[in-house]
Structure 1
Amino acid sequence: MKTRSRVHLFMLFALLWGVNVRAQQSLRESYIEEYAQLAVAEMNRSGIPASITLAQGILESGNGQSELARKSNNHFGIKCHSDWKGAKVYHDDDEKGECFRRYDKPQYSFEDHTDFLMRGSRYAFLFELDPNDYKGWAKGLKKAGYATAPEYADRLIKIIEDEMLYRFDGGAALTPAVAGGTGPVLDKKGRPVTNARERFVLRRVQSEGTRVAFVLFQKGDRLEYIADSLHLPSAALLQFNDWTHEVVVAEG
């Protein structure tokens, strides 16, 4: 009887654990969909890889569910520091009642995260890295003291690779064959992506120091189809290409 009870308890815990994992994954996917456009916009403004911005936001805000993110729109755990003149909120962290920055909306948190890294002299060396070197950025942030957790860089890298966030950096995830204009796009496990996505050819180009990702597509493809195939928000494609919601693209 005791053995059977233990088995039932184990099965219950396993079920609850599985439900929680699926819920967290759903929250993470929603976070990426909602904030990818902001991360890409900040990358274009500063050179900070969008994958790094998204991974930090996911990690620091708990997929957007932390109290600091929900109540104060602070997605990156940035503390007040002596030069902060904006709104403040007090929250227990490494010490009790620490001062954190509060924002009116998430967009301002993303913008301030960029400014915080660009202004900080200890982060200056990061901007000398290859723009697609998300591993270098992750390790550099840890080295510069952005976070105290020993595994901080590894956790960022795992999030980026698990969720393929490098796709927002302008093509860093492509295989050499794809980068050259031929070959399949790969999924998370390195398998060729079939059906809709296999018709897209991704390339990476350097243009005046800016990363630009572009797509070759077929005549008649609609915005929603392209966005879904590339795992990008439709709004991001609209912004980057000056399109309208009713666009039907020409070939190429």
Structure 2
Amino acid sequence: TGWENGPLGYPTTDEVCGLRNGGCYQTYQDGSIHWTSATGAHATHGAIGERWASQNWEQGPLGYPTSDEIATGTGSYQMFEGGAIIWTANGSRTEAITMNSSGLTPTQQDYLRQALPAAVAESQQYGVPVSVALGQSILESGWGGSTLSSRYNNYFGIKCSTSSPYQSGCINMGSGEYLHSSYQIISSSFRTYGSRTDSFLDHGYFLTHNSRYGGAFAHTDDPDRFIREVARAGYATDPNYTQKVINLMNAYNLYQYDI
């Protein structure tokens, strides 16, 4: 982080071990570094570090940090075992998002744990509600079980008719489409990605760089209205697409993750 010239300053303690799950930490003038064999070593400081401390550090619902602080165009965020803490520059607002595994199968818990940071990154960068990004990705990828998502990290079914800075290539695959009210399997060219996060960021890029979806961004504080506008603009051919996404957002209370 830049030694003593970085955001942490000089160390103020030696390394201290014996924390939960064999963890260790060291404190600095303006923050701390925590480590476990499972999560690695990550620094916390500033408003995000204060919020984590207020929730009882690694003993709280968030657990240990799993990333360093990541800057976005509107602030920054940091991922933890049990969720995320987001700091928004506009108004200097800090919010903790804790993953709720109640009612989820182990497969669904694993998907949500991995998808949540990607959805948070998309929301911070492009303004798409976290609940909508999660709901669409669950529907499009079958909780990450589709071939397109598991092999090629495409969680939204975005095609190669245009290009983006996030895609790594294209792949031809069969997909289900509604053509003239009839469900058919057709061959399409889909974008491929190097990571799950790239797919989520590309979803935000796709929506913000197509003017037809502009109306949705007047309703970022209303996820149901947001997805209705996206679907109305022609995102999917399924006539029931909007209701399917809203049903998922309701069934798993994805709204609780909105920033």
Aligned counterparts of 1:159 and 1:34: Cα–Cα separation in 2: 17
Match of 1:104 among 194, 200, 213: 194
Partner of residue 167, structure 1: 256
Q: Which runs of 5+ in 2 are unaligned?
A: 1-102, 178-184
Equivalent position SS for 2:171: strand
4+ runs deviating over 4 angstroms: none
Larger relative helix fraction? 1
Verify the 8 A CA contact 2:127 2:204 in the aligned structure 1.
no
Aligned counterparts of 2:116 and 2:163: Cα–Cα separation in 1: 29
CA 1:24 to 1:96, structure 2 compared with 1: closer, same or farther past 3 Å?
A: farther
Verify the 8 A CA contact 2:118 2:196 in the aligned structure 1.
no
Aligned counterparts of 2:196 and 2:115: Cα–Cα separation in 1: 9
Partner of residue 209, structure 2: 119
Match of 1:91 among 141, 163, 173: 173
Verify the 8 A CA contact 2:216 2:227 in the aligned structure 1.
no
TM-score normalised by L of structure 2 = 0.53
Shift of 1:86: 4.2
Equivalent position SS for 1:89: strand
Alignment-mate amino acid for residue 46 of structure 1: Y
Alignment-mate amino acid for residue 154 of structure 1: Q
Equivalent position SS for 1:98: strand
Aligned counterparts of 1:24 and 1:61: Cα–Cα separation in 2: 17
TM-score normalised by L of structure 1 = 0.55
1:58-97 alignment runs, 5 A limit: 58-83=138-163, 86-93=168-175, 94=177, 96-97=186-187
Aligned counterparts of 2:234 and 2:109: Cα–Cα separation in 1: 28
Cα distance per residue 1:17-67 (max 9 Å; x no partner): xxxxxx984322221111111111211122110000001110000000000
Alignment-mate amino acid for residue 73 of structure 1: N
Verify the 8 A CA contact 1:160 1:166 in the aligned structure 2.
yes
Equivalent position SS for 2:186: coil
Match of 1:158 among 223, 229, 247: 247
Match of 1:133 among 222, 245, 255: 222
CA 1:169 to 1:24, structure 2 compared with 1: closer, same or farther past 3 Å?
A: closer
Aligned counterparts of 1:76 and 1:82: Cα–Cα separation in 2: 15
Q: Which runs of 5+ in 1 are unaligned?
A: 1-22, 171-252
CA root-mean-square deviation: 1.9
